[in-house]
Structure 1
Amino acid sequence: MSNLDFLYRASNDDLRLLCDIVVKDKNGNFRMTEGLSGTQTFKRHYPNNIRAMLSELVEEFRLFGGNSFANLFRGNGPEYTEILRDVAKRNKVSFSKRNTDEQIEQYLLQKLFDESLNNASDAELMEMMKELGYPTTNFTRQVALATLMTAWKAGGFQSYILMVSVVNAVMKFLIGRGLSFAANAALTRMASIMMGPVGWVLTALWTIVDIAGPAYRVTVPAVIQIAYIRESFNHPSHLSN
């Protein structure tokens, strides 16, 4: 799992959420199609030491990435890089063969953010601007969209707040619970604002996913969570700021 080795640096909370995506449905029940929860490794380390069962978790995740017929012959699921590209295509993310996993993950997160902004009301956009400290005296939708998209790409704490808020909304919508983060008033307010716009985007996406097959209910949120974990390491900002 060399291209996912960075997960060993992730917090147990982030890894537990990834584990829950793989083994549990939105109601918190174990999936009928998973086999990890019955193992001694799972029983020994879940939920307090997910890192100790990370290789088994990744293998279970990979099984959801391929269809059962193909897995039967190769003995395991496709590599993460293949699953990521499949999820990116499902979300209509543009990328090339030359792009790295990290770049495609960034494109996926930005696609979710951009579509969320486009689905946000003027009132929601204005609230986002206020939370990030931008003036709204001469508010226009076009300026707000451009400002927020620039903030996303700029890095730093504002970018971090936007990313965490989007991923938190995605997780609440898709699996029923959000990220675990320290109490931060700005982040809490922004996360609340983003719930509406992200919900509109995912309602449309999930209709497509339902048609495509149940495995996407695992691979889509799992890839988004993995992308979030990797991208978090690229941000110098911390929730305590």
Structure 2
Amino acid sequence: MAYRPDEDLSFLEAVDSKDLDDLVYCLTHDRDGIARITEELTTASEYKEHYPDHKKYWELIAAEIQCFGANTLATMLRGGKGVLYKEVLMDICDKMKVNYNKNSSVEIIESNLLMKILSDAIEKMKPDELKELAISAGIKNTNNITPQAMIGAFQAIFRAGGFTSYKLTVIVVNAVLKALIGRGLSFAGGAALTRTMAILTGPIGWTITGLWTAIDIASPAYRVTIPAVIQVAALRQKQLYAGEPETLAFS
């Protein structure tokens, strides 16, 4: 396992070790908390020496994502190096039928992925759940609120970026991870509106579980790459926007 210089993962160097806990756990353990047989991270000397100070071996963490997202034989031919993160991300988006532009930045493509999950969940919500979600999101007129209206509102938040987009990202990612690996983000509590998170956890859980079942038959590697990419998206948003003042919706 060797790290390929990757501009879309290099930000991990600046992430606090504590915030990397969830990503490292996902790469090294399955949903039942059992150590993954195929992972290589915990066998590395840097991991053994510095764990749990993940920042000191962030390149190994990034390399693990790259290798899980690559074909095993191709990785061997590349001297143990996997594929760049954007390729891993786009592969997942293809499997999950996400509409995206391959020329867009990874931040935008990650938002497209999260919006696909969120949209599918909203489509499954009952009218009373939809109204409660609208209220928690700060929408004034909730009479006859439709799934399309809620999807449009959240799309606008993602497009605007900033702290509110970060909060929405954390809400979605937290619900997805609870469904996929049985635990949410360790830093979700202070960043997201608890009420909104509670409303969305069920519908997103049902949605992602169905997608997971459909995708899982293709390759067991998706059990690692899907939650890993989802967590990278949250970490990226936190690194970019967590320090911004809270001025928009969800306030």
Please indicate the TM-score interval, normalised by the length of the shorter structure. 0.7 to 0.9
Distance across 2 between alignment mates of 1:42 and 1:152 = 35
Q: In the alignment, is residue 44 of structure 1 matched against residue 49 of structure 2?
A: yes
Task: Name the structure where helix makes up a greater proportion of residues.
Answer: 1
In structure 2, the residue matched to 1:89 is 94
Specify the SS of the correspondent of 2:91: helix
Distance across 2 between alignment mates of 1:174 and 1:228 = 15
Q: Cα offset for 1:179?
A: 0.8
In structure 1, the residue matched to 2:215 is 209
Q: In the alignment, is residue 162 of structure 1 matched against residue 165 of structure 2?
A: no
In structure 2, the residue matched to 1:111 is 116
Q: In the alignment, is residue 80 of structure 1 matched against residue 78 of structure 2?
A: no
Identity of aligned residues (%): 41
Q: In the alignment, is residue 57 of structure 1 matched against residue 61 of structure 2?
A: yes
Deviations 1:146-204 (A, max 9, x none): 44443444445544332211100011111111112364496222211111111121122
Distance across 2 between alignment mates of 1:211 and 1:15 = 29
Distance across 1 between alignment mates of 2:20 and 2:42 = 15
What TM-score do you get using the length of structure 2 for normalisation?
0.84
Gaps of 5+ in 1: none
Change (3 A) 1:137 1:22: closer
In structure 2, the residue matched to 1:34 is 39
In structure 1, the residue matched to 2:179 is 173
Gaps of 5+ in 2: none
What TM-score do you get using the length of structure 1 for normalisation?
0.87
Q: How many residues align?
A: 238
Distance across 2 between alignment mates of 1:84 and 1:200 = 22
Deviations 1:98-135 (A, max 9, x none): 22222212211222222222222222221222222323
